[in-house]
Chains A and B, each alone.
Chain A
Amino acid sequence: MIRADRIFGVVMVIVALGYILSAATIQTSFLSDPVGPRVFPYMVAAVVLISSLVMILRPDPDVEWPVGGMLLQMGLALIVLFGYAMLIQPLGFIIPTVIAAGILSWQINPRPVPAALAGLGLGIGLFVLFKFILGLGLQGLPRALMG
């Protein structure tokens, strides 16, 4: 029977092998210490290999994984967070925060009006808190608008 632990174990075995390959290409200088920069990564990769093999051979009972609509919801959250990470620099703090906080709020409680209000409130409230009370150097609005 295929279990999530087995899949993860196989993935980690591949990652560990890649890690060893990458470690083998680390350049050593002739001034190096007796151990050099490769040995510790090799040891770490060995631990990953052994414990991944244990996971493949003796997997724990499976848990329930999100399917269908829930998977879509989580994918949406992921897209929102990645989008936020990319847009905060060009668009400033307020606009991306209103949108991201609003969508996340709607995902937890699917009523559009309170979610929109939560987004607006958090976007503006947190900006005031961080910029004016805590004194962090945040850009509020898009750079283009600020001139």
Chain B
Amino acid sequence: MDIMANLAMGFGIALSPYTLFLALIGCFVGTIVGALPGLGPSNGVALLIPISFSMGLDAISALVLLTAVYYGAMYGGRISSILLNIPGDEPAMMTTLDGYPMAKQGFASDALVISGVASFVGAMVATIGVMFLSPVLATVAFKFGPAEYFALYMLAFCTLGGIGSNNQAKAALAAAIGLGISMIGLDKTTGMPRFTFGEMHLMDGIDFLVAIVGLFAVAEVFHFIETHGKDSSIGVKLGKITINWAKLWSTRWAMARGTGIGFVAGILPGAGASLGSFLAYMTEKSSAKDKSTFGKGNPCGVAAPEAGNNAAAGGALIPMLTLGVPGSGTTAVLLALLLTLNITPGPLLFTERPEVVWSLIASLMIANIMLLILNVPMVKVFVKILQVPSWILLPGVTMIAFVGIYSLTGSSFDLMLMVAFGVMGWLFRKLDIPTVPVILGILLGNAMEDNMRRAMVLSDGDWTYLFSSPIAIGLWIAAVVGFVAPMFLRGILKKPPQPVTDVGTPD
């Protein structure tokens, strides 16, 4: 079988000691990044791109390292959700609902084991899904011309903005700001400068890594100082880690359902891991016979969202690899990584550089097994790291952000630009304007304009060409639905409230 031969080739590359070592480092760092509140997967990957690039890692090594961080962060998010009632990252929000009550009742170890295994099941099934579905989608993607790609980008912006934010106007504004920023620099077709105002530094355009690290990591500094950053401390005591097989087995269907829902949510553009875990939890709750135990420490309420968010993280790789269109903030950052490494995602990636795709898939599988070991028997190591006080952690993260960008670009101008993006990120957060569409706009702006202009060359300036093929029309309809539908669904799908933290009362 073709897939098996490819996979064997992938494992051939991924099983070299050096690659295994990088995957292990990535898993370890990723779990920490996920576990620390305020440092999500997008943040972690964004901080590490410039550093791994300056270290001179080759494309496959860098990809293995950083996707291991990406998967690791999805595992790690649950640790602080369960022990501190603070989601380590956004997708881990739903895990607090039943994870923290479980921990309060003295079942912290069970909650960590179940969620760890659920993460493994979700991520593993999703990785297998990536293996079988990506080549299929890649063959469909060959039929895409410029008009279809333009519609696809519209779809990504519309669903990402529609689903991921509370206000459609603000989401559209954020996407347009990102697109506007991406226009800065030389126009590829005519070679004329645009919006550079004679500033030499702007001729090459604004480096998306500067924008990403600024909007995510530097913005966090301002947010943290403003909110007086509560020191991270362990709220719930964690005893010996033991595996309660019966309880684990009782959640098997919750894991299976969560995986399925999460995987589908991950493939949809704009949905991503947060929606995956949300839908998985809500489905589990509404399909349960006894709904009243949810929110009070039901193990199924831990298993479903964790399986869901990890499966979604895997599923989100499919549109990113085959079409070059990321489904979420973190995959947008991974797209930035691919572009930095000079790898253009898309259908051609599968035929021209199969070694990249298949070694990536193979190392994701290996990373998953490593993560299961790191996150179940060795979870106490990460609990220790969570005790690092924020007055050391935050300055450290900030300095890492600066070093990364500085060693990549070597320019003070870019560092100042990064700080400016940090202020913008803080301001947008205050105004409830999502920043992920800004990133997506900066990343995709040039490709989007390019496809539009190529479509117009093909049609000789006839704008109806953009709506001329069935695929394009389907994508446009999906885009409109993805943008408009959440306005009506928002009232129905309300998020359940988080459990109340009461640190002072040991059971």
Contact: B191 with A84, CB < 8 Å? Answer: no
Among A68-90, those with CB < 8 Å from B are 70, 73-74, 77-78, 81-82, 84-86, 88-89
Contact: B399 with A77, CB < 8 Å? Answer: no
B194 within 8 A of A: yes
Given contacts A44-B180, A66-B226, A136-B55, contact A86 B173 (CB under 8 A): no
Contact: A12 with B173, CB < 8 Å? Answer: yes
Contact: B399 with A97, CB < 8 Å? Answer: yes
Report Cα–Cα, A54/B433, bound state, in Å. Answer: 13
Given contacts A55-B170, A108-B391, A122-B399, contact A48 B189 (CB under 8 A): no
Closest to A61 in B: B432
Of A27, A40, A114, which is within 8 A of B192 by CB? A27
Given contacts A51-B172, A109-B389, A134-B55, contact A63 B430 (CB under 8 A): yes
Of A28, A44, A60, A100, which is within 8 A of B399 by CB? A100
Contact: A88 with B412, CB < 8 Å? Answer: yes
Contact: A81 with B399, CB < 8 Å? Answer: no
B487 within 8 A of A: no
Given contacts A85-B402, A101-B398, A136-B55, contact A29 B192 (CB under 8 A): yes
Which of B74-82, B106-114, B337-345, B416-424 is the contact stretch?
B416-424
Report Cα–Cα, A121/B391, bound state, in Å. Answer: 12
Using an 8 Å CB-CB cutoff, how does the interface string of A93-134 with B read, 1 for contact, 0 for none? 100010011101111110000110011011100100010001
Contact: B460 with A81, CB < 8 Å? Answer: no
Given contacts A82-B416, A122-B399, contact A33 B391 (CB under 8 A): no
A146 within 8 A of B: no
With a cutoff of 8 Å between Cβ atoms, the chain A residues found around residue B406 in the complex are 88
**Consensus secondary structure, chain A interface:** helix
Report Cα–Cα, A118/B397, bound state, in Å. Answer: 12
Given contacts A4-B431, A101-B398, A105-B392, contact A32 B190 (CB under 8 A): yes
Using an 8 Å CB-CB cutoff, how does the interface string of B295-338 with A read, 1 for contact, 0 for none? 00000000000000000000000000000000000000000000
Instruction: Give the contact-size bracket for chain A.
Output: 35 or more
A59 → chain B, closest Cβ, in Å? 10
Closest to B182 in A: A44
Contact: B226 with A34, CB < 8 Å? Answer: no
Contact: B183 with A48, CB < 8 Å? Answer: no
Report Cα–Cα, A114/B393, bound state, in Å. Answer: 13
Using an 8 Å CB-CB cutoff, how does the interface string of A14-31 with B read, 1 for contact, 0 for none? 000001001100111101
Report Cα–Cα, A38/B334, bound state, in Å. Answer: 30
Contact: B187 with A33, CB < 8 Å? Answer: no
B379 within 8 A of A: no
Using an 8 Å CB-CB cutoff, how does the interface string of B158-196 with A read, 1 for contact, 0 for none? 000000001101101101110110010001011111110
B403 within 8 A of A: yes
With a cutoff of 8 Å between Cβ atoms, the chain B residues found around residue A36 in the complex are 190
Report Cα–Cα, A77/B224, bound state, in Å. Answer: 11
Report Cα–Cα, A101/B416, bound state, in Å. Answer: 17
Report Cα–Cα, A5/B460, bound state, in Å. Answer: 41
Given contacts A85-B415, A105-B395, contact A126 B400 (CB under 8 A): yes
With a cutoff of 8 Å between Cβ atoms, the chain B residues found around residue A93 in the complex are 403
A108 → chain B, closest Cβ, in Å? 4
With a cutoff of 8 Å between Cβ atoms, the chain A residues found around residue B452 in the complex are 35, 40
B396 within 8 A of A: yes
With a cutoff of 8 Å between Cβ atoms, the chain A residues found around residue B194 in the complex are 22-23, 26, 37, 41
With a cutoff of 8 Å between Cβ atoms, the chain B residues found around residue A22 in the complex are 194-195, 197
With a cutoff of 8 Å between Cβ atoms, the chain A residues found around residue B431 in the complex are 4-5, 8, 60, 63
Among B442-476, those with CB < 8 Å from A are 448-449, 452-454, 456-457, 460-461
Closest to A55 in B: B169
Report Cα–Cα, A51/B433, bound state, in Å. Answer: 12
Report Cα–Cα, A109/B193, bound state, in Å. Answer: 47
A98 → chain B, closest Cβ, in Å? 10
Given contacts A29-B192, A37-B194, A44-B183, contact A114 B391 (CB under 8 A): yes
Contact: A51 with B54, CB < 8 Å? Answer: no
Q: Which of B189, B229, B392 has the most CB of A within 10 A?
A: B392
B150 → chain A, closest Cβ, in Å? 11
Contact: A60 with B432, CB < 8 Å? Answer: yes
Contact: A86 with B180, CB < 8 Å? Answer: no
Given contacts A32-B189, A108-B391, A134-B51, contact A47 B403 (CB under 8 A): no
B106 → chain A, closest Cβ, in Å? 32
Q: Which of A41, A78, A81, A82 has the most CB of B within 10 A?
A: A81
B69 within 8 A of A: no
Contact: A26 with B403, CB < 8 Å? Answer: no
- The 6 tightest CB contacts between A and B, nearest first, are A85-B415, A54-B169, A34-B461, A109-B391, A101-B395, A51-B173
Give B contacts to A, CB under 8 Å. 51, 54-56, 166-167, 169-170, 172-173, 175-177, 179-180, 183, 187, 189-195, 197, 218, 221-222, 224-226, 229, 231, 389-392, 394-396, 398-400, 402-403, 406-407, 412, 415-416, 418-419, 422-423, 427, 430-432, 448-449, 452-454, 456-457, 460-461
Can you list 19 A-B pairs, Cβ within 8 angstroms, ordered by A? A34-B453, A34-B457, A34-B460, A35-B452, A36-B190, A37-B187, A41-B194, A44-B176, A45-B176, A47-B175, A48-B180, A51-B172, A52-B173, A55-B170, A77-B225, A78-B419, A122-B395, A126-B399, A130-B403
Give A contacts to B, CB under 8 Å. 4-5, 8, 12, 19, 22-23, 26-29, 31-37, 40-41, 44-45, 47-48, 50-52, 54-55, 58, 60, 63, 65-66, 70, 73-74, 77-78, 81-82, 84-86, 88-89, 93, 97, 100-102, 104-109, 114-115, 118-119, 121-123, 126, 130, 134-138
